[in-house]
């Protein structure tokens, strides 16, 4: 098919919207459809990379070729791509973790040649049953294989995803030899490009274009205090045109910032990978609803982690603001590139705070699991007969479930993998394990360098757009003339109203954070032989609260000082009493107060709980006692070991359980298992309702 022939088809299908190609779009399509070339396409965000693979699919299908298979990294992106494909008359389907009930229908449609393009999440490539039963029967018909956001293939890339490395196995052994291969990205420097070329195979051609974005107006400001950033956003957001995205590094930051801005009357919502489980929604429903509301301009902004990034398409986004700095220049370029695709001008504002360094350092340090953790997992598998499920591994190795799964995934994608999966169980293979220390150290050093360059972006007096694209090895850009550096002045008023800062601090102090939703079941492989608990918890606790989150700009500083001094300040007593009576108002109302006992600091929490009971006009009773010393919960790394650590640790004091609902107090919730065990003992002793309250929720406190 010629360029003019394809343009005629695209013009008709787009109702006249597409009448010409951008520079390099036709050469890319031509390389794919007419020469069956393996091509890596590196073009700026908003350039139109999707038109290349949609146009190539239309042309190939018109020639009688089989379907296109496209690997897409995010479900939000996949939804956008599918809608765009259908808008061009393509019969599109997707397979991902949210639509398992559709897989059979999609597979049947593929068999009838009724699918033009199939979107597939890379994680599905790791599912041997899925590959064998649903995908492999159709691979022989595929004539175009697309890898979107191809930097994810590379362990140098900012979004390294181990499952992407399974693509090499598809290309070398499962797909037809004459299949055309197209990989696309906007965020790859020379090093990542070279790595992706090696993964895609010999002869991969690279087509690169200029990366500068004419519509973006960039500024970066060091604003150390999170309370200052809260205040600036509350005062500035109403003055900005249109709507946009505010990026955070963590889900907790997204939730907290969204709640604060809503309290100021702004239409914002948090968006991250955990909103479905928090809201109890059907998988994917909550995120789809939020995306639709932003597109319909019903929201001023989504407060999002990187879960809303690659490929999210709202061409008229007027701003992207970073509440915390991105981890690297290429991640920042990809995220800020959501803005201004169909606008003459859009803001890209980066706020850099004191907490950024610690968060990013944690991400970097945890990129690869420690060697001793890998050995623990491999040893457990080697000693097991018949393999192990992840739940069984948690009992045998004291590691977080997320780290265990990460180890399994990294080991499974290696050449001559030392492990393999059969149905639900993992097994040790005959292949030896040799750690690649050099590669890991090189990758970690690279990520530390990338973070250093991100900090330099904040400090640089030079043109910010030129700084960004030069870091991506595009040396064609001149000074943009639009950023704060080029103009020599702030694009927006960056002053912070001290009154709003104080309001933000008061809000954080008075907001109150939910503790983890009470546990409903005990861990499998019974960790409580002494208590005899297993299966479903018969008498679960009420949903509890935490006055603060460790390290937040509200009460956490006083909590930390109290832990160090051995006594919590009366101001915390007043704050808890006010929070309970004025904002929380637990039902049924507690009639007495008790606490989680400790052998290390026997008076710290009881002293606080007594003063709180007096303030509330309630009776304090030490209804629980600790009868054996245990290591701190924070030293246990997964829920099974956290629970087992407390087996037989507490017991109810005879005659100390009072009538009515109780407020169960502790200082810090690391795993929430101490509260769960103590609370269940109280429920079993006849207490009708147990309301947990802690002074601070540890940042690590989350179910694994």
Per DSSP, helices labelled H in 128-247 are: 128-130, 136-139, 167-169, 190-200, 226-236
pLDDT of res. 310: 67
Using a cut of 0.85, tell me whether the model's pTM lies above it.
Answer: no
Q: Rounded CA gap, 675 and 681, in Å?
A: 10
Question: What is the residue extent of each domain of the chain?
Answer: 3-208, 216-361+468-504, 512-697
Mean pLDDT (the chain) is: 90
> Which helix (H) or strand (E) element contains residue 682?
helix 673-684
Q: Residue 625: what pLDDT?
A: 97
Element (H, E) at 363: helix 356-365
Alpha-carbon distance of 143 to 181, in angstroms, equals 9
Buried b (16+ CB within 10 A) or exposed e, 160-198: bbbbbbbbbebbeeebeeebbbbbbbbbbbeebbebbbe
pLDDT at 268 over 80: yes
User: Which residue in 172, 222, 160, 236 sits closest to 198, CA to CA?
Assistant: 172
The sign of the dihedral angle between the CA atoms of 336, 340, 344, 348 is negative
Is the pLDDT assigned to residue 495 strictly greater than 60?
yes
Per-residue confidence (pLDDT) for residue 20, from 0 to 100:
94
Phi and psi at residue 185, to the nearest 5°: -165, 160
Q: Would you say 69 and 233 are in contact if contact means Cβ atoms under 8 Å apart?
A: no
Q: For the segment 9-21, what is each residue's pLDDT rounded down to a tens digit? A: 999 999 999 999 9
CATH code given to domain 216-361+468-504: 3.40.50.300
Domains 216-361+468-504 and 512-697 share a fold: yes
Longest dimension (CA), the chain: 89
Mean pLDDT of 46-56: 94
At the second CATH level, the architecture of 512-697 is: 3-Layer(aba) Sandwich (3.40)
User: Residue 426: pLDDT band by 50, 70, 90 thresholds?
Assistant: very high
Contacts of 436 by beta carbon, 8 Å cutoff, 6+ apart: none
Nearest to 637 by CA among 349, 269, 346, 377: 377
Cα–Cα dist 669/702, whole Å: 10
Using pLDDT thresholds of 50, 70 and 90, give the confidence band for residue 159: low
239 — alpha (psi -120 to 50), left (phi > 0) or beta? alpha
Distance CA 385, CA 388 (A): 8
- Give residue-wise pLDDT tens across range 237-259: 999 999 999 999 998 899 989 99
Q: Which of 91-95, 129-133, 590-594 has the lowest mean pLDDT?
A: 129-133
- Report the CATH number of the 3-208 domain: 3.40.50.300
């Amino acid at each position: 098919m010629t360029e003019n022939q394809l343009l005629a088809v695209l013009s008709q299908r787009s109702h006249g919207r597409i009448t010409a190609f951008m520079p390099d779009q036709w050469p890319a399509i031509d390389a794919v459809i007419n020469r069956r070339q393996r091509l890596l396409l590196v073009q700026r965000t908003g350039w139109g990379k999707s038109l290349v693979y949609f146009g190539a699919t239309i042309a190939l299908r018109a020639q009688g070729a089989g379907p296109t298979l496209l690997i897409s990294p995010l479900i939000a992106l996949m939804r956008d791509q599918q809608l765009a494909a259908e808008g061009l008359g393509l019969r599109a389907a997707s397979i991902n973790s949210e639509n398992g009930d559709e897989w059979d229908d999609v597979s049947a449609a593929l068999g009838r040649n009724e699918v033009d393009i199939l979107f597939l999440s890379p994680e599905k490539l790791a599912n041997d049953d899925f590959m064998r039963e649903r995908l492999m029967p159709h691979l022989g018909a595929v004539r175009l294989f697309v890898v979107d956001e191809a930097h994810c293939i590379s362990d140098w890339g900012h979004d390294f995803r181990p499952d992407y490395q399974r693509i090499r196995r598809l290309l070398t052994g499962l797909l037809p030899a004459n299949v055309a291969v197209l990989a696309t990205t906007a965020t790859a420097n020379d090093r990542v490009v070279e790595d992706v070329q090696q993964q895609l195979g010999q002869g991969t051609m690279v087509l690169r274009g200029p990366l500068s974005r004419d519509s973006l107006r960039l500024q970066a400001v060091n604003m150390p205090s999170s309370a200052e950033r809260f205040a600036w956003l509350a005062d500035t957001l109403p003055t900005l045109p249109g709507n946009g995205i505010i990026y955070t590094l963590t889900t907790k930051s997204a939730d907290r910032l969204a709640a604060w801005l809503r309290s100021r009357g702004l239409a914002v919502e948090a968006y991250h990978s955990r909103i479905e489980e928090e809201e109890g929604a059907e998988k994917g429903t909550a995120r789809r609803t939020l995306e639709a509301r932003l597109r319909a301009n019903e929201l001023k902004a989504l407060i999002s982690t990187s879960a809303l990034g690659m490929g999210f398409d709202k061409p008229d986004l007027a701003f992207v603001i970073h509440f915390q700095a991105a981890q690297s220049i290429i991640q920042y370029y990809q995220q800020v590139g959501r803005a201004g695709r169909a606008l003459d001008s859009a803001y890209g504002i980066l706020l850099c705070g004191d907490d950024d360094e610690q968060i990013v350092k944690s991400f970097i340090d945890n990129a690869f699991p420690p060697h001793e953790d890998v050995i623990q997992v491999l040893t457990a598998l080697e000693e097991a007969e018949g393999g192990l499920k992840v739940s069984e591994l948690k009992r045998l190795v004291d590691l977080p479930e997320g780290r265990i799964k990460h180890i399994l995934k990294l080991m499974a994608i290696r050449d001559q993998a030392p492990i393999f999966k059969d149905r639900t169980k993992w097994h040790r293979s005959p292949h030896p394990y040799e750690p690649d220390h050099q590669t890991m150290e090189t990758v970690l050093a690279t990520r530390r360098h990338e973070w250093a360059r991100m900090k330099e972006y904040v400090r640089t007096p030079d043109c910010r757009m030129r700084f960004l694209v030069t870091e991506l090895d595009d040396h064609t850009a001149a000074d943009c003339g639009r950023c704060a550096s080029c103009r020599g002045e702030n694009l927006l008023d960056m002053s912070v109203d001290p009154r709003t800062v104080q309001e933000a601090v008061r809000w954080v102090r008075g907001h109150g954070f939910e503790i983890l939703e009470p546990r409903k079941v005990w861990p499998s492989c019974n960790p409580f032989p002494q208590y005899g608990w297993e299966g479903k918890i018969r008498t679960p606790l009420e949903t509890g609260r935490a006055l603060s989150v460790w390290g937040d700009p509200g009460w956490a500083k006083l909590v930390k000082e109290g832990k160090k001094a051995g006594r919590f300040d009366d101001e915390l007593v007043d704050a808890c009493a006010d929070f309970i009576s004025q904002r929380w108002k637990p039902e049924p109302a507690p009639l007495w107060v008790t606490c989680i006992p400790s052998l290390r600091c026997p008076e710290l929490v009881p002293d606080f709980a007594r003063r709180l009971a007096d303030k509330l006009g309630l009776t304090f009773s030490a209804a629980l006692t600790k009868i054996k010393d245990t290591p701190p919960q924070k030293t246990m790394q997964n829920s099974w070991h956290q629970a087992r650590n407390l087996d037989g640790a507490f017991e109810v004091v005879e005659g100390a359980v009072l009538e009515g609902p109780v407020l169960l107090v502790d200082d810090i919730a690391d795993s929430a298992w101490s509260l769960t065990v103590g609370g269940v003992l109280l429920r079993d002793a006849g207490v009708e309702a147990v309301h947990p309250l802690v002074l601070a929720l540890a940042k690590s406190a989350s179910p694994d």
